């Protein structure tokens, strides 16, 4: 059973089509990331789920019931925004209790539920502080607490970690994963950070140009991206794209060197997508000149310039190559990605 269904959802503001026909079924209990570049429409999608925007066309269903006309307060959804939007004059405890107070939950029960949430998020010692006396990460936890305390069916999170520094972000990522595991509620998370999406989600919807490019598990979108947009957006360093050429018998060559046998007509010129971890230096292979060398401790990223383009290799940390050096590389034939040179869709 899906917790949320989007059926042919479109949204336009004036003449501008922002969401252009989205169909998605979010399984109950999923952690779904809506992942895409700035302006692709992900926040608009989330706001439609929350009831803060109305679709121009299509249906939004929660637990099977159409909610297009249901106001935000009646959807049993909690939303956490990028800006935490805490009430500055209230204490942490009052901020967390606020949604309960608004719903007329009696004082005794309120206190119990606030204490339970505070314990879960390790906010106990901070309950009497005001938001300005808290760090960014603590404020973020209070905002989460305020969403959690209502025990809604669905959580919507709009880039809630983007104001935090790198250390705190990775800490909060782990906390959110843990939280999702513990409470098992459906969460929809908007981010443009593919690492966040890869590490936290059970499912990812990659969005570009107002449409879902691919929906799947993190492994599915990483291993079998359906087009060049998804392939280039997921993974660090980004997948390299170089020009391939198909010869007699399906021989696929890269800069004149045979790299695989493919099921394609001679003369075809697919784009070959290569992930850095699939590249190795070898005695025999594609000739290339070493460009930028980036040692990052346990591994070294090396840019290899060949006649068909630039390929990045993820090599062991002790690899001794110098910029300008001539080398040869190979790439695992079974792990090459082939894309149409014009439309960009996956060919194999």
| Buried-exposed string 19-32: b where 16+ CB fall within 10 A, e elsewhere | beebebebeeebbb
Say whether residue 87 binds ligand ATP (CB under 6 A): no
Query: Are the CB atoms for 222 and 194 separated by under 8 Å?
Result: no
Site string for ligand ATP, 106-135 (x = CB under 6 A): ------------------------------
Q: Using CB under 6 A, which of 8, 13, 57, 74 touches ligand ATP? A: 13
Q: Which stretch binds ligand ATP (CB under 6 A): 33-41, 222-230, 246-254, 324-332?
A: 33-41
Distance of CA 334 to the CA centre of its chain: 26
Cβ 158 to ligand ATP shortest distance, Å: 8
**Is residue 35 a contact point for ligand ATP (CB under 6 A)?**
no
How many CB atoms lie under 10 A from the CB of residue 1? 9
Task: Give min distance, CB of 16 to ligand ATP, in A.
Answer: 6
Please select the residue that binds ligand ATP; options are 3, 6, 18, 230, rule is CB under 6 A.
Answer: 18
200 touching ligand ATP, by CB under 6 A: no
Q: Please tell me whether residue 285 binds ligand ATP under the rule CB under 6 A.
A: no
User: Can you tell me the distance from the alpha carbon of 303 to that of 322, in angstroms, rounded to the nearest whole number?
Assistant: 11
CB of 136 to ligand ATP, least distance (A): 19
Q: How far is the CB of 236 from ligand ATP (least distance, A)?
A: 18
| CA–CA gap between residue 177 and residue 332 (Å, rounded) | 33
Burial class (CB in 10 A: 0-12, 13-18, 19+), 345: exposed
Q: Bridge partners of 156?
A: 79, 188
CB 90 within 8 A of CB 130: yes
Show the tokens assigned to 287. 């000739």
192 binds ligand ATP (CB under 6 A): yes
Q: Is 228 a binder of ligand ATP (CB under 6 A)?
A: no
Residue 188 near ligand ATP by CB under 6 A: no
Residue 156 binds to ligand ATP (criterion: CB under 6 A): no
Q: Does 39 bind ligand ATP (CB under 6 A)?
A: yes
Distance, C-alpha 340 to centroid of its chain? 24
Tokens of 283: 């005695």
User: Quick one: 27 or 39, whose CB is closer to ligand ATP?
Assistant: 39
Residue 154 sits at φ, ψ, to 5 deg, of -135, 140
Give the count of beta carbons closer than 10 Å to the beta carbon of residue 120.
19
Contact status: 15 vs ligand ATP (CB under 6 A): no
State the residues that interact with ligand ATP by CB under 6 A.
13, 16, 18, 36, 38-44, 192
């Amino acid at each position: 059973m899906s917790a949320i269904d989007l059926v042919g959802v479109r949204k336009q503001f004036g003449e501008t089509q922002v969401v252009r026909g989205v169909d998605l079924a979010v399984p109950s209990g999923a952690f779904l990331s809506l992942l895409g570049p700035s302006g692709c429409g992900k926040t608009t999608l989330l706001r439609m789920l929350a009831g803060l925007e109305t679709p121009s066309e299509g249906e939004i269903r929660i637990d099977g019931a159409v909610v297009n006309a249901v106001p935000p307060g009646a959807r049993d959804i909690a939303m956490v925004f990028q800006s935490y939007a805490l009430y500055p004059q209230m204490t942490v405890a009052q901020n967390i209790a606020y949604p309960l107070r608004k719903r007329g939950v009696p004082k005794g029960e309120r206190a119990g539920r606030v204490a339970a949430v505070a314990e879960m998020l390790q906010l106990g010692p901070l309950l009497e502080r005001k938001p300005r006396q808290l760090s960014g990460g603590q404020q973020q936890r209070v905002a989460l607490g305020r969403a959690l305390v209502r025990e809604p069916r669905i959580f919507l999170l709009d880039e809630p970690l983007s104001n935090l520094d790198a250390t705190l972000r990775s800490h909060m990522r782990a906390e959110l994963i843990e939280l999702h595991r513990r409470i098992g509620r459906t969460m929809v998370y908007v981010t443009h950070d593919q690492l966040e999406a890869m590490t936290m989600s059970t499912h990812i919807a990659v969005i570009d140009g107002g449409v879902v490019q691919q929906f799947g598990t993190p492994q599915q979108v990483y291993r079998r991206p359906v087009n060049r947009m998804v392939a280039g957006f997921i993974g660090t360093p980004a997948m390299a794209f170089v020009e391939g050429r198909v010869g007699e018998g399906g021989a696929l060559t890269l800069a004149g060197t045979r790299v695989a046998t493919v099921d394609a007509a001679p003369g075809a010129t697919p784009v070959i997508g290569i992930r850095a971890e699939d590249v190795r230096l070898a005695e025999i292979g594609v000739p290339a000149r070493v460009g930028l060398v980036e040692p990052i401790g346990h591994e070294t990223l090396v840019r290899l310039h060949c006649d068909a383009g630039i390929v990045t290799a993820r090599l062991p940390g002790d690899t001794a190559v110098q910029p300008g050096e001539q080398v040869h590389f190979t790439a695992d034939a079974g792990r090459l990605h082939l894309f149409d040179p014009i439309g960009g869709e996956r060919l194999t």
